[in-house]
Amino acid sequence: MATDFFYNQKVHQYSKSEGITEKNSVYRLGVEYMEDDDDQTLIELIDAFLDDPKLKDVVGLSIGVWPNAYDSDCESFINKLVEEKERLQHIEALFIGDMDYDECEISWIQQANLNAIFKNFPNLKMLQIKGSEGLSLGEIEHQNLETLVLQSGGLSKNVLQEIGNAALPKLKHLEIWLGTDDYGYDCEVEADILPLLEIGKFPSLFHLGLQNCIDADDIVQLISVTPLQETILSLDLSMGTLGDKSAEGLLNAPCMPQLCYLNLSSNYLSSGIGQKIKEKFPHIELKMGEQKEEDVYDDETYRYVDVGE
């Protein structure tokens, strides 16, 4: 199953036979079976979608499975959208890579250079990208984008640096799944994460998610001594490898008094550290959720992110 909801709307699977039937809707374009002519079939599906008389009723577009997504990138389909950009200027939200693990593992999804999205769709408010193999964002500049989500099993530092250099004055929600070095993560926390925390970098930012990271301890140690922009009221550090020792630093972190929401779920934390945070910062809505347990093998302990392969 792909995403059921996107841009706060139910996602409808587009088909030529039914066409567009819902107003203010999100539609998914994708092939379910990887046949020899699927490439042409998906292009034909995009053409039919663009020719639909109710195209203006669609506010969000999701690109789901493309042919051999584990081996072929999405460039031809992105190029098609760019070629037809005049008919898509009303689109507010775009999801590239909307597929579940049974369709294609996240680390196998072949992405491409997506810089043309920023350049050709000025009215876009939300962009979500799943998979980072072959991904490049280029020089990012967009005046209206409010939400940027990157879901990855292993993000390269090149992409993170592109985000760090981005000009996104209206960005409110930034969510990055960083992943593990087993699947391409090669970031250095101080060099590549710190620029994202720079005050004034994203002047409208409300929510920051640095999730699913093998270096969660190092990230929290950085946050524990780094003031965050005062507009950031929501912080998500879930799905990673954070332990109690590093989490203790949050008790004296300069950002904690300003936060309204903190997500530490699915890490390696004890109930004790959660209680300490609640007692010192009762104003914060703290989400601890379920926590993971370390694996021990040959006297070595191992921690894992939620999403790798």
Per-residue confidence (pLDDT) for residue 1, from 0 to 100? 47
* Strand ranges, E, within 7-163: 9-13, 25-29, 58-63, 93-96, 126-130, 147-151
- pLDDT tens profile 3-16: 899 999 999 999 99
Angle (CA) 251-255-258 rounded to 5° is 110
Who's near 240: CB < 8 A, 6+ residues apart?
A: 211, 212, 213, 214, 216, 219, 266, 267, 305, 306
Domains of the chain, CATH where assigned: 1-136 (3.80.10.10), 137-309 (3.80.10.10)
Split at pLDDT 50, 70, 90, the class of 68 is low
- pLDDT tens profile 29-41: 987 644 444 455 7
Per-residue confidence (pLDDT) for residue 91, from 0 to 100? 98
- pLDDT tens profile 89-131: 999 999 998 887 777 778 888 888 999 999 999 999 999 999 9
Quote the CA–CA distance of 229 and 203 in Å, as a whole number.
Answer: 8
Range 273-300 average pLDDT: 96
One-letter identity of residue 253: A
- Contacts by 133-138 with C-beta closer than 8 Å and gap 24+? 133/107, 133/108, 133/109, 133/184, 134/73, 134/110, 135/111, 135/159, 136/112, 136/162, 137/113, 137/162, 137/163, 137/166, 138/113, 138/114, 138/162
